[in-house]
Amino acid sequence: MDLLKNAPLITLLIALNYSLVAVSLVHLIFRTHYTVGQRLTWVVVLWVLPVLGPAAYWLFWLRRN
């Protein structure tokens, strides 16, 4: 809880990032028609690239549709 008191904005950004990653993963698993290999690649991108991963996923998904 010390981090929340010292840096509330950073804590909020971290929470928002992981929320966006979780929403993206749920969408990736249940709502897309990607192949298994493509889904695994996106899972790695979403977890390895903290900010750019979710942004890239949604950008590529919107272009695909």
Task: Break the chain into its structural domains and give their ranges.
Answer: 2-64
Q: What is the pLDDT of residue 57?
A: 85
Confidence at residue 4, expressed as pLDDT on a 0 to 100 scale: 65
**Which two structure tokens, joined as six digits, stand for 16?**
């928002």
Asked if pLDDT for residue 7 goes beyond 70, the answer is yes
- Grade residue 1 by pLDDT with cuts at 50, 70 and 90: low
| Average confidence score pLDDT of the chain | 83
CA distance 22 to 43: 10
Return the closest-CA partner of residue 42 out of 17, 25, 59. Answer: 25
> Taking a C-beta distance cutoff of 8 angstroms, is the pair 36, 47 a contact?
no
pLDDT of residue 61: 81
pLDDT digit string (tens) for 33-57? 888 898 898 888 888 887 788 888 8
Phi, psi (deg, nearest 5) at residue 63: -65, -35
- Per the rule left: phi > 0, alpha: psi between -120 and 50, beta: everything else, 34 is beta
